[in-house]
Amino acid sequence: MKWSILILAGLLATLLYVVAPVPAEGAELRGQDQGQGHAHDAPTRQPGADRWESFRRVFSLRDYNTRVVVAGTTMLGAASGIIGTFMLLRKRALVSDAISHATLPGIAAAFIVMTWLGGDGKNLAVLLVAAMISAVLGVASVLVIRSATRIKEDAALGIVLSVYFGLGVALLGVIQKMATGNAAGLESFIYGKTASMLWMDAVVIGIVGVAAVLVCLLMLKEFAIVCFDQQYAQTLGWPVTVLDVAMMALVVIVTVVGLQAVGLILVVAMLIIPAATARFWSERLVTLLVLAAIVGAFSGLFGAMISALYSNLPSGAIIVIVASTLFLFSLLFGIRRGALWRALEHRRLQWRVEQQHLLRALFEWCEQHGADAPMPWSRLAEARSWPVARLRRTLRSAARRGWVREGVGARDRWQLTERGIREASRVTRNHRLWELFLITHADIAPSHVDRDADMVEHVLGRELVDRLEALVADDRSRPPVPPSPHAMKAAP
């Protein structure tokens, strides 16, 4: 909870920072829309200008308009990351895609209606309200298709996404042919216009972001139980449908607010990528929310700064590229689900399996020939059916740990040390306990049980071993290592 309070406090501080009085020279960017960068930085980008001065001005946030853009995108990223985490855990990440595309026909229809009525077709408040209504209709369409037909949710999302977006593009074509208006300003809702974000845009994003995060914090327990176990929530009497609607409402609000910043196409990335990135680093919900907020905020912050330095880089796209870079880094190096970490975990498990197989082979040799009888190389290779290089590597590794050594005066003959005997006894004991359990309680023939035991014995924990002992072994009557069950005759 303390991390949640810190996130909320950070958003409030950023909002207060943006609401600072507007300088007399102007409060908004006078540059171009998407793709033109920040007009207030134009003097720092003239040919021959000092590049270091440009970096210093941008990264120190000396210009007011830079602070507006950076604060707006940072707050949008943090709020999107938190809400997107619940959508990802609910397995409804594509819902945000359908919602964002469903806003376009509402925007275009509102423009047409306002123009026919003789008003200003580009009234931002009316356009955003129309976008929200259209997004709600899109979500309702998905729910109706899913509940009234046998079409699955992913197909319903694809239908709604394509139909609504196609309708919006058709209406934009109608607007282009109208004598009283054009769709030049409406394209910013598709591609975004981060570079020309106004002071009021940042304030609206900040207010909505703080409100959305506050709602998520207040309903954290309810959202968590619905995301992780919907059936259990229904059993406890939780209003799952109401909670789903509340979650969708937050997504709709953040999506509509984010249209001005990154556009309806890229706002989906702001909702999904930070949450997916955080998933590679933690399994705990609170930590996921914090990391997703940090990734989203950093993407908005750093992406807006990079766009401010280079006039030919579109801000919305750069923000998404920064978020994607963090995602790729997490995909490789995440400590929970990262590819490198999983590869290392797999290699460690493979090494442990090889070591345990080697120790068990040597222990079974000692059972038959005595503890001081070294096992010949040829018999060891035959017992495990390993390639020569793999067997030598495993022996060297076991020797470094002090488990095995070459027999005295015998080359390529190996035996267990005292430490190795203790470890091999533990490994063999677990293996045979599991074999006895499979034979006794799973009706597996003794001649087929060895392979099944090999697949599981290496991940047996202390608690499971104790339960196996209680089921099939009695330490007061059995030796420390049960005898091999392979000599047992199958029941008739």
Best-predicted range by mean pLDDT (94-98, 167-171, 410-414): 167-171
Does residue 437 or residue 338 have the better pLDDT? 338
**pLDDT grade for 183, boundaries at 50, 70 and 90:** low
Assess whether pLDDT exceeds 50 at residue 35: no
- The token duo for 13 is 């501080």
- Tell whether pTM > 0.75: no
Q: Does 236 share its domain with 361?
A: no
Segment 387-434, tens digit of pLDDT: 888 888 888 888 888 888 887 656 678 888 888 888 888 888 777 777
Distance, CA of 144 to chain centre? 29
Least-confidence region, from 2-11, 146-155, 268-277, 384-393: 2-11
Furthest C-alpha separation in the chain: 104
Does residue 137 or residue 484 have the better pLDDT? 137
- Residue 11 is predicted with a pLDDT of 55
Assess whether pLDDT exceeds 90 at residue 327: yes
**pLDDT grade for 14, boundaries at 50, 70 and 90:** low
The predicted model gives 47-53 an average pLDDT of 58
- Residue 44 is predicted with a pLDDT of 44
Q: Does 161 share its domain with 198?
A: yes
CATH number at residue 448: 1.10.10.10
- Residue 110 is predicted with a pLDDT of 85
Q: Does 213 share its domain with 297?
A: yes
The predicted model gives 98-105 an average pLDDT of 84
CA 328, 329, 330 angle in degrees (round to 5)? 90
Spatial distance between the Cα atoms of 479 and 154, rounded to a whole number of angstroms: 58
Best-predicted range by mean pLDDT (121-125, 171-175, 282-286): 282-286
Q: In the beta sheet, which residues pair with residue 405?
A: 415
Range(s) of the domain holding residue 124: 2-332
Segment 444-468, tens digit of pLDDT: 666 555 555 555 555 566 666 666 6
Spatial distance between the Cα atoms of 460 and 428, rounded to a whole number of angstroms: 12
Backbone φ and ψ for 407, nearest 5 degrees, come out as -65, 145
Q: Does 305 share its domain with 383?
A: no
**pLDDT grade for 28, boundaries at 50, 70 and 90:** very low
Assess whether pLDDT exceeds 60 at residue 49: no
Domain count, the chain: 2
* Residue 227 contacts residue 279 (beta carbons within 8 Å): no
Segment 214-268, tens digit of pLDDT: 888 888 888 888 888 888 888 888 888 888 888 888 888 888 887 766 777 778 8
The DSSP code sequence of 32-50 is: -STTS--GGGGGGGSTT--
**pLDDT grade for 181, boundaries at 50, 70 and 90:** low
At a CB cut-off of 8 Å and minimum separation 6, what does 26 contact?
65
Q: Does 202 share its domain with 251?
A: yes
CATH number at residue 313: 1.10.3470.10
Q: Does 342 share its domain with 328?
A: no
* Residue 222 contacts residue 234 (beta carbons within 8 Å): no
- Residue 458 is predicted with a pLDDT of 55
The DSSP code sequence of 316-385 is: HHHHHHHHHHHHHHHHHH-TTT-HHHHHHHHHHHHHHHHHHHHHHHHHHHHHHH-TT-PEEHHHHHHHHT
Assess whether pLDDT exceeds 90 at residue 180: no
- Residue 350 is predicted with a pLDDT of 83
Spatial distance between the Cα atoms of 456 and 343, rounded to a whole number of angstroms: 20
Segment 342-365, tens digit of pLDDT: 888 888 888 888 888 888 888 888
Task: Return the number of other C-beta atoms located less than 10 Å from residue 200's C-beta.
Answer: 13
Spatial distance between the Cα atoms of 312 and 66, rounded to a whole number of angstroms: 16
Backbone φ and ψ for 405, nearest 5 degrees, come out as -155, 160
- The token duo for 270 is 């702001």
Q: Does 274 share its domain with 381?
A: no
User: Which of 332, 352, 383 is at the close of a domain?
Assistant: 332
Task: Return the axis-axis angle of helices 315-333 and 285-309, rounded to nearest 10°.
Answer: 140
Q: Does 119 share its domain with 258?
A: yes
Q: Does 287 share its domain with 370?
A: no
Assess whether pLDDT exceeds 60 at residue 34: no
Q: Does 378 share its domain with 323?
A: no
**pLDDT grade for 57, boundaries at 50, 70 and 90:** confident
Q: Does 25 share its domain with 146?
A: yes
User: Which of 303, 332, 361 is at the close of a domain?
Assistant: 332
Assess whether pLDDT exceeds 50 at residue 31: no
Q: Does 285 share its domain with 353?
A: no
Does residue 38 or residue 78 have the better pLDDT? 78
- Residue 479 is predicted with a pLDDT of 53
- Residue 295 is predicted with a pLDDT of 92
- CA 240 to each of CA 91, 224, 285, 332: distance values in angstroms, whole numbers, following the listed order: 15, 11, 19, 36
User: Which of 308, 332, 356 is at the close of a domain?
Assistant: 332
The predicted model gives 117-142 an average pLDDT of 81
- Residue 39 is predicted with a pLDDT of 40
What is the b/e burial string over 22-32, where b = at least 16 CB atoms within 10 angstroms of the residue's CB? eeeeeebbebe
- Residue 291 is predicted with a pLDDT of 92
